[in-house]
Amino acid sequence: MASKLTDSKIQGLKAPAKGQLEYSDADVPGLRIRIGTTGVKTFILRKRVTGRIRNITLGRYGPRFGLADARRKARAMISDIEAGKGAPIPKARLQDDVETVAALVPVYLNSKAQLRSLDEIRRIMLGYVLPVLGDRMADTVTRGDVTRLVDDIGRNSPAMARAVHAQLSAFYTWAMPRLDRLTANPCRDAGRPAKGKSRDRVLTDLELKALWRVASSEGSPWGTGLQLLMLTGARRDELFSAERSEFDVAAKLWTIPPTRSKNGAAHLVPLSKMSLQVLKQIPEDEDSAKLYPARNKATKADNGPSGFSKMMVRVRSSVDAELGRDAGDHWTLHDIRRTVATGLQRLGVRFEVTEAVLNHVSGSRGGIAGVYQRHDWKVEKTEALNLWAGHLARVIDN
């Protein structure tokens, strides 16, 4: 007979010599905690769904997910399941737990494997959607759930909130034919932040100096990553999703392949002496081809790091402290890219060379000019980025 679980009981559980042990909770029917030989304790919900008994993982027991959290999540899932009790499972669903958002997402990502934006889609779905909605039955997510998710993200990053809304909406457009009970895309009438005004924020030389100093004290991947963004003007995901094989130290060249380039064309990024010095500081991980692999051992082989928002809050605060000021004007990682472009123009670099450094296809490289313009600008880009690195070095040492 099940007895009521308590935190003290859970903390006192001993790992078995082999196999797994499960302990039921009398407070929430179906809620159990499972412990294996490693001592890891995981909450599961055992529930009959459409005629079959299923085990649904709720989360690992720890400081961030305790018994009260598990009970709340279990009750919510029981409510979701019972709301649609008796409905048939579509034939397209091949896994026992495929009706959850978390189980559908890998299938969805596989269907988008041909897209150049796959890394960004994966990052948003795994980093923002699954932690909140992953354990929910996909056909019970409401526009209110989506609104709360987007609002929460929008407090720190309106742009990311819009991106999450767009990707989640695309996911549900794909999923609806597989969800018999879902009558409408829950993102359709959900709230989302209005599109902001075009940004024109550029970091000053004093801010660049402070940022370089702060980055020097940051651990991997943020410290060297910030410095490489400052030196190359690359897009955030171009760098943090890069693989080591893209970097040719001997040739002093970073080649971003077409599959990861925003415009679908290979992009050559010459590496200055400073860039090469930073690159040497990045430790290799034998379990991943990524320049900056994810910390999670299960996903590091294929994914880059997450946690950009938290890192930026910390770094912005440290830069302000370094400058001895209260919170300055808000700036983002993309503003570093704008700062590099502005700096190149200030140093007298031709506009079309600056566009080539940024891999822009508008302006001098767009339209009919782009059709006939096949010069790769490698020599000019090398000169420009070396010039910028020299300027940055003087700013840092001044």
Question: Are 261 and 391 within one domain?
Answer: yes
| Domain co-membership, 361 together with 247 | yes
Mean pLDDT of 183-200: 79
- Is there a single domain that holds both residue 75 and residue 105? no
Q: Which residue has the tokens 């990045």?
A: 282
* Band of pLDDT at residue 253, cut at 50, 70 and 90: very high
Task: Indicate whether 360 belongs to any domain.
Answer: yes
Residues facing 60 on adjacent strands: 42
Across all residues in the chain, what is the average pLDDT? 85
Of 333, 379, 334, the closest CA to residue 357 belongs to 379
User: How do residues 263-289 score in pLDDT, each as one tens digit?
Assistant: 777 899 999 999 999 999 999 988 889
> Are both 109 and 210 inside the same structural domain?
no
Going by their DSSP bridges, the two strands 41-49 and 52-60 should be labelled as antiparallel
- How many domains does the chain contain in total? 3
Q: What is the SS3 assignment for 253?
A: strand
- Give the up-direction half-sphere exposure of residue 120: CA atoms within 13 A in the CB hemisphere: 17
Indicate whether 313 and 376 sit together in one domain: yes
In a domain, 223, yes or no: yes
Residue 86: its pLDDT value, please?
Answer: 40
Answer whether 358's CB lies under 8 Å from 337's CB.
yes
**Two tokens, residue 112:** 């988008």
Residue 365 pLDDT exceeds 60: no
Residue 222 belongs to a domain? yes
Please tell me whether residues 237 and 380 are part of one structural domain.
Answer: yes
Say yes or no: 225 and 120 in one domain. no
Q: Which residue has the higher pLDDT, 102 or 338?
A: 338
Residue 196 falls inside a structural domain: no
Contacts of 387 (CB under 8 A, 6+ apart): 344, 347, 349
CB 165 within 8 A of CB 146: yes
Which one, of 79, 37, 38, 72, lies nearest residue 58 by Cα?
A: 72
Cα–Cα dist 146/95, whole Å: 25
Beta bridge partners of 36: 20
pLDDT for position 217:
94
Question: Residue 91 — pLDDT band, cuts 50, 70, 90?
Answer: very low
- Whether residue 145 is found in the same domain as residue 280: no
| Cα 112–chain centre separation | 17
Residue 373 included in any domain: yes
Q: Which domain holds residue 309?
A: 205-397
- Same-domain status, 315 and 237: yes
Mean pLDDT of 210-233: 96
**Strand ranges (E), 118-224:** none
79 and 107 belong to one structural domain: no
375 pLDDT tier (thresholds 50, 70, 90)? confident
Residue 383 phi/psi, 5-degree rounding, is -60, -40
Provide the CATH number for the domain around residue 18. 3.30.160.390
**Residue 165 — left, alpha, or beta (φ > 0 → left; ψ -120 to 50 → alpha)?**
alpha
- The average pLDDT across 310-319 equals 94
In this model, does residue 211 exceed pLDDT 90? yes
Backbone angles phi, psi at 200, to 5 degrees: -135, 20
pLDDT band of residue 93 (cuts 50, 70, 90) is very low
Strand order in the sheet with 267-270: 247-248, 253-256, 267-270
Query: Residue 113 has which token pair?
Result: 């494997």
Structure-model confidence comparison of residues 42 and 208, the more confident one: 208
Nearest one of 227, 233, 158 to 191, comparing CA atoms: 158
In a domain? residue 195: no
Q: Read off the pLDDT of each residue in 336-360 and give the average, rounded to a whole number.
A: 94
Residue among 378, 384, 351, 352 nearest 266 (CA): 378
CA separation for the pair 80, 355 (Å, rounded): 51
Residue 196 contacts residue 158 (beta carbons within 8 Å): yes
* Residue 223 and residue 362 in one domain: yes
Do 66 and 112 lie in one domain? The reply is no
**CA nearest to 213, candidates 309, 312, 322, 330:** 322
Q: What is the CA radius of gyration of the chain?
A: 25
| pLDDT interval class at 54 (50, 70, 90) | confident
pLDDT of residue 191: 83
**Phi, psi at residue 268, to the nearest 5°?**
-95, 125
